């Protein structure tokens, strides 16, 4: 059972994570009536702010560290753009992925969340938020009942058919689309703009990018260490291309033999993994715990990672979510890889 990779990039991985598979069967006439009523109410509420046009832009004085990460105002729906910060801070939000929930809490907007998806479990307060769906389905009827002002969705982690259905009911659906380590800062700035918490979001984004740049400068250009990333054991899957963990591997200055595979999360055979002779093996686990399904690489003592005991676990809840908390665990990964790097360099010099 795949339980520990809850917030990765591709639908295959998401599907393994969010296994619940219920579907709502609602009458079309009933949905249309509820949807039209919902649209009229929302139009009246948001219309009250039309006279308070807030043409907010990121300050030109923001540090050069955030250059290239400014958000266009058109990211935010036009109806929301009319609202002042005080009004934006009162908007009711449904956040349909764990990473969105984490980021909203980090910028001080956690109390605005009235609904979320399965597995949104951080911070602790997130566990008490009402659940309205998972990867397999969104409970559209429940969304209509609790009437959010904004829905923030993760397109590769939420069913597109349900999102389209919600848009037909005139809900404001905003996409969360972080695809690179640096784009986590973009996400924070967008959420800050959306919720009227720009200053806090800028501060968090700046600190995140500073920490990210420090790790890159410290590790990314060092002598590569061959690494195998055991994303999933049955069938055996690893990471490649622009997969979220692959970007972290590159940040730490490690070399992935499968980086150029035909997909971001390729299936590989055990023989292929062994032939690559990894010097380090990473085995992420839920909350950092060992997974009994993980491959026991110690059985193949001839591979360097096993022979020299460079097989490490990581907290998958951190490394596989597109949040600032991810860097805490990536720093640990970089440090462990660097320990192996020093060991192998010392071995080479001794010969």
Which region among 52-66, 302-316, 329-343 has the lowest average model confidence (pLDDT)? 52-66
How far apart are the two ends of the chain, measured CA to CA in Å? Answer: 45
Higher model confidence: residue 1 or residue 101? 101
Residue-wise pLDDT for 95-104, tens only, equals 999 999 999 9
101 plus 232 within the same structural domain: no
Pairing between β-strand 280-285 and β-strand 225-229 as defined by DSSP bridges: parallel
pLDDT at residue 64 tops 50:
no
| pLDDT band per the 50, 70, 90 thresholds, residue 291 | confident
pLDDT at residue 61, as a whole number: 33
| Closest C-alpha to 320, from 157, 133, 115 | 157
For residues 116 and 138, what is the distance between their CA atoms, to the nearest angstrom? 10
Mean pLDDT on 80-106? 97
Listed ranges 51-55, 76-80, 209-213; the one with the highest mean pLDDT: 209-213
192 plus 134 within the same structural domain: yes
Q: Of the residues 210, 231, 258, which one is the last residue of a structural domain?
A: 210
Residue-wise pLDDT for 23-32, tens only, equals 333 333 344 3
Residue-wise pLDDT for 121-162, tens only, equals 999 999 999 999 988 899 999 999 999 999 999 978 899 999
Let me know if residue 124 belongs to a domain: yes
| pLDDT band per the 50, 70, 90 thresholds, residue 349 | confident
Indicate the angle between helix axes 98-106 and 183-195, nearest 10 degrees: 70
Is 225 strand, coil or helix?
strand
pLDDT at residue 48, as a whole number: 38
256 plus 338 within the same structural domain: yes
CB 239 within 8 A of CB 261: no
202 plus 234 within the same structural domain: no
199 plus 165 within the same structural domain: yes
> 109 is in which domain, residue-wise?
11-59+66-210
Residue-wise pLDDT for 215-239, tens only, equals 999 999 999 999 999 999 989 999 9
For residues 152 and 310, what is the distance between their CA atoms, to the nearest angstrom? 40
Distance of CA 257 to the CA centre of its chain: 25
| pLDDT band per the 50, 70, 90 thresholds, residue 292 | confident
- Regarding pTM above 0.85, the answer is no
pLDDT at residue 288, as a whole number: 60
- Rounded to 5°, the CA angle 58-152-74 comes to 40
| Residue carrying the six token digits 């071995």 | 347
Characterise 224 by phi-psi region: left (phi > 0), alpha (psi -120 to 50), beta (else).
beta
202 plus 224 within the same structural domain: no
244 plus 328 within the same structural domain: yes
For residues 143 and 194, what is the distance between their CA atoms, to the nearest angstrom? 20
| Closest C-alpha to 283, from 271, 272, 298 | 298
């Amino acid at each position: 059972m795949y339980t520990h990779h809850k917030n990765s990039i591709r639908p295959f991985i998401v599907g393994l994570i969010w296994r619940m598979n219920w579907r709502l069967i609602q009458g079309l006439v009933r949905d249309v009536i509820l949807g039209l009523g919902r649209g009229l109410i929302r139009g009246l509420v948001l219309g009250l702010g039309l006279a308070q046009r807030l043409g907010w832009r990121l300050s030109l004085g923001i540090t050069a560290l955030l250059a290239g990460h400014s958000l266009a105002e058109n990211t935010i729906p036009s109806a929301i753009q009319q609202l002042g910060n005080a009004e934006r801070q009162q908007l009711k939000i449904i956040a349909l992925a764990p990473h969105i929930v984490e980021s909203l809490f980090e910028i001080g907007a956690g109390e605005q969340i009235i609904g979320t998806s399965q597995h949104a479990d951080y911070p602790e307060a997130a566990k008490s938020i009402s659940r309205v769906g998972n990867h397999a389905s969104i409970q559209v009827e429940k969304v209509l009942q609790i009437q959010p002002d904004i829905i923030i969705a993760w397109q590769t982690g939420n069913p597109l058919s349900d999102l389209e259905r919600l848009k037909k009911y005139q809900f404001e659906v905003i996409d969360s689309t972080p695809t690179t380590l640096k784009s986590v800062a973009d996400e924070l700035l967008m959420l800050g703009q959306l919720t009227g918490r720009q200053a806090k979001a800028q501060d968090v984004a700046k600190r995140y990018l500073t920490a990210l740049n420090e790790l890159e400068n410290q590790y990314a250009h060092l002598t590569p260490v061959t690494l195998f990333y055991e994303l999933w054991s049955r069938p055996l899957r690893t990471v490649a291309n622009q997969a979220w963990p692959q970007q972290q591997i590159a940040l730490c200055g490690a070399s992935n033999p499968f980086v150029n595979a035909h997909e971001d999360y390729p299936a590989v055979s055990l023989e292929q993994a062994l032939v690559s002779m990894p010097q380090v093996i990473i085995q992420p686990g839920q909350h950092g715990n060992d997974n009994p399904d993980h491959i026991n690489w110690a059985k193949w003592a001839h591979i360097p990672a096993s022979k020299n005991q460079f097989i490490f676990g990581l907290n998958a809840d951190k490394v596989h979510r597109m949040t600032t908390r991810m860097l805490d665990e990536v720093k640990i990964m970089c440090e462990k890889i660097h320990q192996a790097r020093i060991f192998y360099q010392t071995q080479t010099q001794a010969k």
